[in-house]
Structure 1
Amino acid sequence: MSHRIMIVDDEAPIRESLQGLFEDEGFLVYLAASGEEAVAKLRKQSVDCVLLDIWMPGIDGLETLSRLRQLDESLPVIMMSGHATIDTAVRATRQGAFDFVEKPISFDHMLILVRNALERRRLELENRNLRAGQQAGKARTLVGESAVMREVRALIERVAASDAPVLILGEHGCGKTVAAMMLHQMSRRKDGPFVELNSASVPEGRMDSELFGHEKGAFPGALHTRRGCFERAHQGSLFIDEVADLALPVQAKVVRILQERRVYRLGSVTPFDADVRLLAASSKDLEREMRAGKVREDFYYRLNVVEIRMPPLREHSEDIPLLVEALAGEQAGDLGGEPVRFSDDAMMRLCEYHWPGNVRELRNYIERCQILMPGRVVDVGDMPPLDHQAAPAGGHVSMAMDEGFHAARERFERSYLIHHLQAHDWNVSRTAAAIGMERSQLHRKMKHFGLSAPARKGA
């Protein structure tokens, strides 16, 4: 993987000598003779490191540094100067410069600095991806020793080494995102970025900007240049969840990007590299969506090179004890205290429940138990009710048959709404669409029954 660096200096001999040094070491080198040119080039082509002179005609190095970091806040910039003061070096460091070197430049020292800067950028990216996964409450491996889970893990290991797109199918909450993370971590792209986008959470009018990026002024409200998901995922993996929700014109653009490995920002005629492995997931039957005209045929076949089907939790309930142990340890680490435990009878009750929200629902339940009973052994009589979030196995809501019609209807409506909200991770838009209710009406019902999404970790 060739790293890209930009050398910004108004003196041509310095630019050319540094260019020769880094090209001999296998770097891709871009040159700029001024701060203005550097900013313009970075808008069109992302790089991994910048060598920036302080004293130049036009905008000086410190102002250029500020503008470059507005475009890419994690970009390492090494400042160069032949006659800078200590004050200038301090100001540059405070503005986010990676390091400061004096001219004449020692090529060996500069090469070491650049490699250190690239390593720090790689680690920052890796840590950011790890934190994102942890904040979303996502495990980084699929837990379970059932035959079906062993088969899924074996398939992930087999296809991870390929660069082919992968389509991950399954119900909400059954581990599709974890599978995508495992595919990335086991691939040759593991040191590159893992960029995640849930298309169901992005308004249709903003999807082009999210995926492809935009230039400043490309549309009303575009106050700054923005790099899209494809550009940020260059030399890494892009995971698009609920991919069937992409509009047909967006699907066509994605197919073209995968073919050309180039992306155009909105408002730009300059292509950017997009060497990306696409990992896509959906809770819908994409073949049925294609027949209904909601998914393009070329898009479906481009995605469906390798298909991984994630089983719902009810199909491998023998894994629930292992999942409970892992999730209890995770929650204890996040919330404090010793992990909550369950008696044999309580564990049997957990294994008998059909978990319509799958592992996500189980995680929320264990989190509630950890908050209420940290370190305790939970017996059946201590268990928070399972049916206040979803109907018990068989789909029936228990109620007293001698209660009034209005009370019975209220009880059913509340249980029905909680069931579907939990199954859709408390996403109001998706829940409303699934049950055929207007979003505003669902909001009113939730307010009436006092329903709200459970608190997220870190919230």
Structure 2
Amino acid sequence: MTARIMIVDDEEPIRDSLQGLFEDEGYLVVSAASGEEAMARLRKQSVDCVLLDIWMPGIDGLETLSRIHQVDANLPVIMMSGHATIDTAVRATRQGAFDFVEKPLSFDRLMILCRNAVQKRRLEQENSDLKRQEKDHHSRRELIGQSAVIREVKALIKRVALSDSPVLIVGEHGTGKAVAATLLHEASKRKDGPFVEVNTASVIVNRMDSELFGHEKGAFTGALHPQRGRFESANGGTLFFDEVTELSLSAQAKILRVMQERVVQRLGNPTPMPANVRLIAASSHDLEQVLRDGQLREDFYYRLNVVSIRMPSLRERIEDMPLLVETLAAEQANELGGEPVRFSSEVLSELMAYHWPGNVRELRNYIERCHILMPGEEMTRESMLPPDQSTTQISHSTTAAKASVAMSGVEADSFHEAREAFERTYLLQSLEKHEWNISRTAADIGMERSQLHRKIKAFGLVPPEKESL
């Protein structure tokens, strides 16, 4: 993963020299001419290390260091100074600086310090990511909202959880059926047992028996090792079938038998094993129509449908939109870094007017896109990104909106490639907007002229009149 560093120094030659040095070594570089500019950039974009000059106009390096650690307490900051005393170095260290270097700078020493700082940052991030993943896992196990319909669903889940009967959860894609299944398990007497999910659409049909019931070594060609089935793994807990209508009629009959007898047999082993599981199934299809089409056994359907929970679409609880947007924006900021993207009241009204065919899942993806393209900024009517990139249902002519639409057709194998493609499109449209005037473009987008020149060269951007030569 490419590391991003920030260089903060009021002397442009030093910034340019260090930027060239680190870019030659493969780093991504963000530069700032003052402590104030550095803080503004940090609130919008996360970095892995900061090189910070001490003596600067405005807020000095020590004050900037303090403010940086208020935003990100673990961000390594290497202090630089040509007029420092031992007392200054000690103060910087006590304030949490990663290290201290004197000018004139030794590029070799600076490179080693930066590499060590980035490595330390990565190790700390890996540890915090593990903790955050656990936290995010919990955040995705709740139904966000206070509307009447979602309160009814929450209340029904609590009542149904006390039973051990099968439950059928229905609703459109992205309404939170898997979340509801998890909540049912956690509120049940089986909460200390396993929760095992089977995404039926992802299992190869001729391997379904092995996946569900397990197999012994040599039970069939390719069975090189014994394997526990999902029923066996979920014993004492809950087994959740997502998109249950994807099961074959044969698999439905076998599952029905397990539900009745509470035992399973591995392929290649006649010995029955206990399968004391609670079954929860979910579907986004019209089950009455699936029954009529003969793709769902009636006895299996009625055995599953002891209790039914219908998950409301986002359109049915649109009053939850402000809370959902705020919660999901904070979630993305935790996952991707930076401050949450904000939404004006006009934009919220636009979002509430959109039909959201993908429901909360689509909204989560939209908020993630907004955070990637406009981190820490307020989305206004003029700058908002359209929820549906494939249509012009919400049409705006701003650079950000144009760039996001342009990106919809870009294929990228990684986030790094996608970001570079967006940067290239964004810079090209900004340059065209200002008729390739470098000074006006740099001022408009908040980038230094030298950095803009470097980006133009890196992306191979050429003015129209030169392209025709």
TM-score band, normalised by shorter chain = 0.5 to 0.7
- Report the CA distance between 1:205 and its aligned residue: 1.4
Which residue is equivalent to 1:259?
260
Alpha-carbon contact 1:354-1:392 (below 8 Å) kept: no
**Residue type of the partner of 2:366?**
Y
Matched, 1:148 2:149: yes
Query: What's 1:237 paired with?
Result: 238
Answer yes or no: is the 8 Å Cα contact 2:386–2:392 preserved in 1.
no
1:218 to 1:201, Cα distance in 2 relative to 1, 3 A: same
3-state DSSP of counterpart to 1:375: coil
For 2:324, the equivalent position in structure 1 comes to 323
C-alpha contact 2:238 2:277 (8 A) present in aligned 1: yes
Q: Which residue of 2 aligns with 1:158?
A: 159
Distance verdict in 2 for CA 1:257–1:454, change over 3 Å: farther
The alpha-carbon deviation at position 289 of structure 1 amounts to: 1.0
Residue in 1 that maps onto 2:21: none
Aligned to 2:379: 378
RMSD: 2.6
User: Which runs of structure 2 are paired with 1:194-213 in the superposition (5 Å)?
Assistant: 194-213=195-214
Deviation at 1:452, TM superposition (A): 7.5
Render the CA deviation track for 1:208-255: whole Å, top value 9, x for unaligned. 111111111111111111111111000000111000010000000000
Instruction: Name 2:341's counterpart in structure 1.
Output: 340
Bigger radius of gyration among the two: 2
User: 1:346/1:336 Cα in 2 relative to 1: closer, same or farther (>3 Å)?
Assistant: same
Cα separation, 1, equivalents of 2:414 and 2:378: 23
TM-score (norm 1): 0.56
Q: 1:170 to 1:246 in 2, by over 3 A?
A: same
Aligned twin of 2:140: 139
Q: Is 1:189 aligned to 2:190, yes or no?
A: yes
The residue correspondences of 1:80-229 to structure 2 (distance < 5 A) are 134=136, 139-229=140-230
**How many residue pairs get matched?**
275
SS at match of 1:205: helix
State the alpha-carbon separation in 1 of the partners of residues 194 and 315 from structure 2.
33
Q: Which runs of 5+ in 1 are unaligned?
A: 1-127, 399-414, 419-448
Question: Structure 1 residue 338: deviation in Å?
Answer: 1.5
Whether the 8 Å contact between 2:328 and 2:367 is mirrored in structure 1 is: yes
In the TM superposition, 1:399-414 aligns within 5 A as none
User: Which stretch of the first structure deviates more once superposed, 332-341 or 379-388?
Assistant: 379-388
CA offsets 1:179-201 (integer angstroms, 9 cap, x no match): 00000010011111010111011
Structure 2 segments unaligned to the other structure (5+ residues): 1-129, 396-404, 416-469
TM (normalized to structure 2)?
A: 0.55
CA contact (8 A) 1:287 1:300 kept: no
Q: Contact 2:265–2:272 at 8 Å: present in 1 too?
A: yes
Give the SS at the match of 1:355: coil
1:387 matched to which residue of 2? 388
Distance verdict in 2 for CA 1:453–1:318, change over 3 Å: farther
Name the CA shift for 1:132/1:257 in 2 (closer, same or farther; >3 Å): farther
Return the alpha-carbon distance in structure 1 between the equivalents of residues 392 and 266 of structure 2.
47
Tell me, yes or no, if the aligned pair for 2:136 and 2:331 is still in contact at 8 Å: no
CA offset at residue 385 of structure 1?
2.2
Contact 1:248-1:294 at 8 Å conserved across structures: yes
Q: Verify the 8 A CA contact 2:340 2:371 in the aligned structure 1.
A: yes
> Which segments of structure 1 move beyond 3 Å, counting only runs of 4 or more?
130-135, 389-393, 449-455
Q: What SS is found at the alignment partner of 1:382?
A: coil
Question: 2:363: which partner in 1?
Answer: 362
Distance 1:390 1:210 in 2: 41
